Amino acid sequence: MFRDVSPLLRDAKLREEAYDALARHYIDNNIKVDLVAGIESRGFIFGTALAARLNCGFIMVRKPSKLPGKIVSVDYGLEYGKNTLCLQEESIKPKQNVLIVDDLLASGGTAEAATKLIKQLDGNVVGACFLIELDGLDGRKKLSNIPVFSLLTFPVDGSDVKAPEKKEAPKEEKKEKSQEEKKKEEEALENDRRAVVVFYPSMEEIAKNLCKVFPDKFRLGSVSWAFFPDGWPDIRFEHMKFLEGRHVVFLGSLYDRTKLVEQLSLMMVLPRQFVHSLDIVFPYFAPATMERVDEEGILATAETVAKLVTSSIPMTRTGPASLRIFDIHALPVRFYFPDNVMVRLMSAIPLLINELGNSSGVVVCFPDDGAAKRFKKDFAKFPIIICAKVREGDKRIVKVTDELNFTSNTKLDHVIIVDDLVQSGGTLYECRKALLAHGAKKVSAFVTHPIFPNQGYKRFFESGDRHGFETFYVTNTVPEVAAQVEGHKPFKVLRIEHMLAKDVEKLAR
């Protein structure tokens, strides 16, 4: 069977839908792509379209004698001989994230060769993307060390072409039944007075679990997050008659700034559906890491984004919308929001305390004074250690600077470092090293928000003394990252849904 992409390319609507679906996989999973590498020649078609949607660069993986300047090349085997692929030497800067794109994954030899070529230039292959995958040729096995995404899968033998005959009901009957069912569903929704939970796609699992905790209180709302060909939002949501007079909960994500516009659009329009009240949940308020101005000429990102996100939200029938945030990085940020929203700060620390239960011999460590000020009161029953970055000569190192609630019998059998977020993890490493030098036998860590830019969590998957955390607890306030680390030691994901559901349920009564 020859799978021909030409008809799809001729159809403007289907072609754009295919491009959007391919791009959406990487956008929704928050996979950072610096360059798309299109394999000659149909990879150029899909690759340039994908690069435009991912707002990144495009490079060409070509056959010999088709690229000017200095090149690198790799040979790979074919059934009838060998072939060669080439890249310009200046195509990739060291450690750039590269996504390989082609129209078809068959045996995988070409894509495997492209992977080797990119690694020659010290590029980081974050995945391989295809419109079509042929099942039965084991192409994925050759690419087992990188994530593979294909939009369509066909059996290599063409067995899908001869579909079994089915007797279909007369079209009139089918249409009449469909209309009847649709009418019943609409009537049920009109009479359903439960709170409506709408969500951005990355928050889907949290939304579904929230509804499972209180099925008699919440139902999932319907939102279609599509885009026009020019990239602007094309959002469709439930009719006003299903929202009017209901309490509405919106679960959003500020983890990726490129997803802000469509979420703002929906938050602005929901109160205009005559909803009873609106409860907005942004579990992780990302811009809080730049919350103040120490000198002129600096933008206080936290304040600016706080106003941008909420200043345009109209009042609901019962007053201002509420906004829930977990373990905000800097407490003053709560005062940056305008008066048309009521900010409710939540903490995931109870999840850790519940996880520890009656564990004896646990000592809590804060990596700096800031974390100690935020969380010390929550661990009043635990012995506490505080670390700090101090300068020794030309170096800044992390040292144990304070020990609280200690007795002569206190042992450092198990120390847990507690903070609100982690990015590179460098401070946690250094803190762990200081604790081990101080006599700790085991060291774990807990952070509410696992940020890990550029898949930095992978360094924790490794073994060895430098990476040897006993357990690394994180929550799913950033679902995009939590899904990547779940099931990989030493990570353990503590889920916020039950806590969130109980808190939101108070307003939905």
Separation of alpha carbons 287 and 254, rounded Å: 8
What is the C-alpha to C-alpha distance for residues 320 and 277, in angstroms, rounded to an integer? 8
Tokens standing for 169?
């009901």
DSSP code at position 314:
P
Q: Three-state SS for 419?
A: strand
Taking only the tens place, the pLDDT of each residue in 405-436 is 666 566 788 999 999 999 888 888 889 988 98
438-488 residue pLDDT tens? 888 999 999 999 999 878 888 887 654 445 789 999 999 999 999 989 988
- Residue whose structure tokens are 């460098």: 426
Domain spans of the chain, in order of start: 6-155, 189-348, 354-476
Q: Which CATH number fits domain 6-155: 3.40.50.300, 3.40.50.720, 3.30.428.10, 3.40.50.2020?
A: 3.40.50.2020
Integer Cα distance of 475 and 251 in angstroms: 16
Distance CA 445, CA 443 (A): 7
What's the CATH number for 354-476?
Answer: 3.40.50.2020
Q: Is 81 helix (H, G, I), strand (E, B) or coil?
A: strand
pLDDT tens digit at each of 509 positions of the chain: 678 899 999 998 889 999 999 999 998 888 999 999 999 989 999 999 999 999 999 999 999 989 999 999 999 876 556 889 999 999 999 999 999 999 999 989 999 999 999 999 999 999 999 999 998 888 888 898 899 999 998 887 776 665 545 555 555 554 555 777 778 888 888 888 899 999 999 999 999 999 998 899 999 999 999 888 888 889 999 999 999 999 999 999 998 888 899 999 999 999 999 999 999 999 998 876 666 666 777 777 888 888 888 888 999 989 999 999 999 877 777 777 888 889 889 999 999 999 988 777 899 999 988 899 889 999 988 899 998 877 666 666 777 877 766 665 667 889 999 999 998 888 888 899 889 888 889 999 999 999 998 788 888 876 544 457 899 999 999 999 999 899 888 999 999 999 999 888 876 66
Whether pTM > 0.75 for this model: the answer is no
Q: Does domain 189-348 have CATH number 3.40.50.2020?
A: yes
Residue with tokens 């995945």: 127
Task: Give residue for tokens 């703002």.
Answer: 264
Question: Active-site residues: which are they?
Answer: 42, 79
Residue 186, CA distances (Å) to 122, 180, 238 in order = 56, 10, 10
